Structure 1
């Protein structure tokens, strides 16, 4: 260990700093890729709403004899814990049959608004001449699930829907189950309700159409770095319903195939599996990455190599679901192992074994005018478990704490397809964080206009603003344009600061889709504001071109 330390210390400070900056680029890119993979595993299927009954078309016509109502007896509501609204206005009035029918409709609407779409209120046969009125509520209950062809429900359906036989039937549970069914890309499901055997009972009949159970995506793009290879190629292979429980298994590999591997390369491999269980979603992720490049120094060049691997178990639970909103709680435990070498000698301060827990809440809210708001608020904690290790002399705190937040909003601007999308991301920590957890700005996924140069630190914030519009559409080709303005800030620290602590960039791009199968992404971005000078004891000024371009081609099979 001492020899390794002395070797690293023998490298000129400027060369070592350049190596650390390149290592940070790789770690930041890896963190962004991990986050994108996690987001892709969250449910994206849309739920089909069951038809909701309106007012009774056979309700009595207005007018007719009226009866003075002094008291109302309500029964059957106990399963819902509280009385419904809309019927007590009858007390103290002379009401007609139409008035009573209107009150029943209000009760039914009350339960429909809560998702209990098969719960009904009715007036049993009675004599109201004495001024008393009895209203009975028949709770709608679930009697079971069946397939559209008559087959009994199997593990695929039973694991998708939260409700069980005898439970109150709620539309929100049916939407959640259908969202789980439609989670795999190959599945397309819908449901309908059929009468059950008991009063108020219903069976849920599920119709599922399955396509090819696997899918493949090939992608090539210029998102790599000069040091390890600019052009990256990826292949992502997915399998649906491997265990028959709406689960998804995915494999991904990324490499830089057009570079001399004797001088530079960057490889990444990942595998993930996820499965829903009613209101729960569970997942396992694992992956490994490695990179290599030749670092030109003041007096000599140094081969730099990095290796890392990780494993994550995560879970998410739906806490609340309404007609327009969802609320989730999530948590995960991630184990990472990282080693870095210069000239075949390990940099001991870069050897890290970390155990990281995450906890948080996230939500979604849809608006009538077509807008959508999503948010995520969470915390990460480094834990001293599972052989967690950082060199005692390292400045990194292995038991770090950080808070993170993300807010996204999109809204249509006209009926022609013009849309605004905004994303605000922030992080705060009072600790010195490992590279994979540091906040970074200056990339195609944060502040556009930067690529080989970026700013990073323990705390920061950035805002992305994008306007999208349809420029051209034909039978086999669709062109969607976009323009963006991004701003970012990284809090300076005693360890690292630049001549300025913010970045500003603009972008213009186009997404060209062919046959709904291949998409060509073109982006041109320009840095409006960035560090330009080299004050004492500061990070070097940005030296890359102020204007950068992105080209990516993605093909789905």
Structure 2
């Protein structure tokens, strides 16, 4: 009896501990799987949100340019010349003394003829034109050249006043687009910038006309516009969604131009999985974007939210119901720091609050639920190259900061744990070049997106590859980690199939080739390369756009070959 009691008293507590511990280990494994899956689903939803936001903020209009003829050298008569030791520029307020010296030095200390003086005037005028002062002129006043000094008078072009001609529709806030220009030196860059700001609204088609003012050098600038309806609607359907949250997606975007009379833009996008998606596998998102330009500055703000439902099967064949939601708020300021007739440099600062919540069987998963605040500082250089090619290069830094409700890192956090206060470097570029072969119109377009993290990142900040937004040829497979890049390249041919009721039906068959790679700061975390190829066609008629493509993976990160993956997108704009 004593032995039995000892066995019962000693063994049963241990057995109870073991039995209680086993489900805990199983739950921990399930929670880990659920957290990883929730991170992946939220990343994919964020990619869709970013794509919707970029479409809302993007202007498809080419930058405004105003062609100014090159100054012509007027050849004089006679072979006589005068010894000129010094050239003095009068009223050259927009040229530094150093540049003045560089411009006049070739004409000092030698005998100048009429052609030489005309060449000097052409050089000065060319300098002003290249720097945007297209109505500023140089001329030679009456003077005595026997002194050895040549005086060149600069007549600075000024803006006498600014007028709007739009049929009294008040479609443009002239003061906001062209602030503080009246009475100032005429610089064509100010007006190219203002036209870009005005024409980023789809309802505007503004141009400018420069007319002579009341005095020499004065100009009256007339902004002409034939505005369309201020509202626009786009309805789109695609199968870019995830199978686990609803592959088939429908998006509705509405926008309104100049609602506040500030050249402002407002847009709202609602996206959700369609009824074709499976039960308990659905998603929904909303995106609001608003921007106001003021000359060389653009201020914007936005809010987005998203939610999803999904399921995973645990190693023990149990079904876990997953759910998640996120809310993002951002404010952004852009400054056009420099531009000439073909190129421009934009600087921007963005602060974003990112709040995410993840659930498994209606229980909050704290390990994958957090609030981050991120500041992005970026520079973006856009260049127009020979042959009509365009090159865009951008780069900057993303910094996680401990305010605006953000999670704060513990002071003793080890180097293998993700950081809320992180630093990552980001880089991107895009190149587009049209060309012709045997009278056929082609274009090649490629883009690169890359990042390098100085700390271990949470899932929302990682680089993800695999899918129609990055490396085509993958649908069920994606890899994400701290560092990475992907490239997206298309070679396309533009064809006009036929015309119907005055509108062309166009086709754009294309071949695509994508690459990508990710790895992490912690060994043993997901990494690998992806390469995929695609063949597709874009069709357009009036307000209808369609894109169809089939893709195939060529290099996989140790995952199964998914075979051919096909996608479509159909949109209607009005």
Provide the residue aligned with 2:18 in structure 1: none
Q: Does 1:50 align with 2:66?
A: yes
Provide the residue aligned with 1:397 in structure 2: 419
Provide the residue aligned with 1:157 in structure 2: 174
Provide the residue aligned with 1:438 in structure 2: 462
Contact 1:349–1:391 (Cα < 8 Å) also in 2? no
After TM superposition, give the deviation of residue 199 of structure 1 in Å.
3.1
Provide the residue aligned with 1:523 in structure 2: 549
Give per-residue Cα distances to partners, 1:47-69, cap 9 Å, x unaligned: 44334244469x45443544333
Contact 1:22–1:227 (Cα < 8 Å) also in 2? no
Provide the residue aligned with 1:367 in structure 2: 385
Of 223, 235, 257, 1:206 maps to 223
Alpha-carbon distance between aligned partners in 1 of 2:23 and 2:246, rounded to the nearest angstrom: 25
Of 487, 490, 511, 2:518 maps to 490
TM-score using structure 2 length: 0.87
Contact 1:7–1:345 (Cα < 8 Å) also in 2? no
Q: Does 1:463 align with 2:487?
A: yes
- Using a 3 Å threshold, how does the CA distance of structure 1 residues 180 and 453 change in structure 2: closer, same or farther? same
Q: Does 1:20 align with 2:35?
A: yes
- Using a 3 Å threshold, how does the CA distance of structure 1 residues 95 and 320 change in structure 2: closer, same or farther? same
Contact 1:43–1:179 (Cα < 8 Å) also in 2? no
Provide the residue aligned with 1:335 in structure 2: 353
Contact 1:141–1:166 (Cα < 8 Å) also in 2? yes
After TM superposition, give the deviation of residue 216 of structure 1 in Å.
0.6
After TM superposition, give the deviation of residue 31 of structure 1 in Å.
2.7
Partner SS state of residue 545, structure 1: coil
Partner SS state of residue 181, structure 1: helix
Contact 2:171–2:227 (Cα < 8 Å) also in 1? no
- Using a 3 Å threshold, how does the CA distance of structure 1 residues 7 and 91 change in structure 2: closer, same or farther? farther
Residues 464-483 of structure 1 correspond to what in structure 2 (within 5 A)? 464-475=488-499, 476-483=504-511
User: Larger Rg: 1 or 2?
Assistant: 2
After TM superposition, give the deviation of residue 544 of structure 1 in Å.
6.5
After TM superposition, give the deviation of residue 126 of structure 1 in Å.
2.3
Alpha-carbon distance between aligned partners in 1 of 2:216 and 2:173, rounded to the nearest angstrom: 28
Alpha-carbon distance between aligned partners in 1 of 2:24 and 2:38, rounded to the nearest angstrom: 17
**Which stretch of the first structure deviates more once superposed, 259-268 or 166-175?**
259-268
After TM superposition, give the deviation of residue 240 of structure 1 in Å.
0.5
Alpha-carbon distance between aligned partners in 2 of 1:110 and 1:379, rounded to the nearest angstrom: 36
**Which stretch of the first structure deviates more once superposed, 63-72 or 265-274?**
63-72
**What root-mean-square deviation, in Å, do the aligned CA atoms of Structure 1 and Structure 2 show?**
2.7
- Using a 3 Å threshold, how does the CA distance of structure 1 residues 97 and 552 change in structure 2: closer, same or farther? same
After TM superposition, give the deviation of residue 213 of structure 1 in Å.
0.3
Provide the residue aligned with 2:471 in structure 1: 447
Give per-residue Cα distances to partners, 1:173-223, cap 9 Å, x unaligned: 111011011010010101111223343222211111110101011110001
Provide the residue aligned with 2:329 in structure 1: 311
Contact 2:38–2:323 (Cα < 8 Å) also in 1? no
Q: Does 1:384 align with 2:402?
A: yes
- Using a 3 Å threshold, how does the CA distance of structure 1 residues 60 and 381 change in structure 2: closer, same or farther? closer
Alpha-carbon distance between aligned partners in 2 of 1:154 and 1:123, rounded to the nearest angstrom: 44
Of 262, 274, 291, 2:291 maps to 274
Q: Does 1:32 align with 2:52?
A: no
- Using a 3 Å threshold, how does the CA distance of structure 1 residues 170 and 11 change in structure 2: closer, same or farther? farther
Of 426, 443, 447, 2:450 maps to 426
Of 205, 217, 223, 2:240 maps to 223
Residues 118-157 of structure 1 correspond to what in structure 2 (within 5 A)? 118-148=135-165, 156-157=173-174
Alpha-carbon distance between aligned partners in 1 of 2:89 and 2:395, rounded to the nearest angstrom: 43
After TM superposition, give the deviation of residue 162 of structure 1 in Å.
4.9
Alpha-carbon distance between aligned partners in 2 of 1:277 and 1:496, rounded to the nearest angstrom: 50
Contact 1:352–1:390 (Cα < 8 Å) also in 2? no
- Using a 3 Å threshold, how does the CA distance of structure 1 residues 154 and 526 change in structure 2: closer, same or farther? closer
Give per-residue Cα distances to partners, 1:415-453, cap 9 Å, x unaligned: 632112122221111322222211011111211111221
Residues 345-360 of structure 1 correspond to what in structure 2 (within 5 A)? 345-360=363-378
After TM superposition, give the deviation of residue 508 of structure 1 in Å.
0.8
After TM superposition, give the deviation of residue 152 of structure 1 in Å.
13
Alpha-carbon distance between aligned partners in 1 of 2:350 and 2:48, rounded to the nearest angstrom: 17
- Using a 3 Å threshold, how does the CA distance of structure 1 residues 18 and 552 change in structure 2: closer, same or farther? farther
Partner SS state of residue 210, structure 1: coil
Of 61, 82, 85, 1:67 maps to 82
Structure showing the higher helix proportion among its residues: 2
After TM superposition, give the deviation of residue 323 of structure 1 in Å.
2.1
Provide the residue aligned with 2:280 in structure 1: 263
Contact 2:270–2:285 (Cα < 8 Å) also in 1? yes
Alpha-carbon distance between aligned partners in 1 of 2:463 and 2:220, rounded to the nearest angstrom: 50
Alpha-carbon distance between aligned partners in 2 of 1:154 and 1:185, rounded to the nearest angstrom: 12
**Which stretch of the first structure deviates more once superposed, 216-225 or 289-298?**
289-298
- Using a 3 Å threshold, how does the CA distance of structure 1 residues 240 and 449 change in structure 2: closer, same or farther? same
Alpha-carbon distance between aligned partners in 2 of 1:17 and 1:525, rounded to the nearest angstrom: 32
Provide the residue aligned with 2:195 in structure 1: 178
Give per-residue Cα distances to partners, 1:324-378, cap 9 Å, x unaligned: 2111111111112111111111111122011111112111111122211111111
Contact 1:274–1:284 (Cα < 8 Å) also in 2? yes
Alpha-carbon distance between aligned partners in 1 of 2:298 and 2:36, rounded to the nearest angstrom: 37
Provide the residue aligned with 2:93 in structure 1: 78
Alpha-carbon distance between aligned partners in 2 of 1:429 and 1:172, rounded to the nearest angstrom: 38
Alpha-carbon distance between aligned partners in 2 of 1:155 and 1:187, rounded to the nearest angstrom: 8
Q: How many residues align?
A: 540
Alpha-carbon distance between aligned partners in 2 of 1:68 and 1:152, rounded to the nearest angstrom: 60
After TM superposition, give the deviation of residue 16 of structure 1 in Å.
4.1
Alpha-carbon distance between aligned partners in 2 of 1:379 and 1:55, rounded to the nearest angstrom: 43
Alpha-carbon distance between aligned partners in 1 of 2:40 and 2:215, rounded to the nearest angstrom: 64
Q: Where in structure 2 are there 5+ consecutive unaligned residues? A: 1-20
Partner SS state of residue 108, structure 1: helix
Provide the residue aligned with 2:536 in structure 1: 509
Alpha-carbon distance between aligned partners in 1 of 2:258 and 2:83, rounded to the nearest angstrom: 61
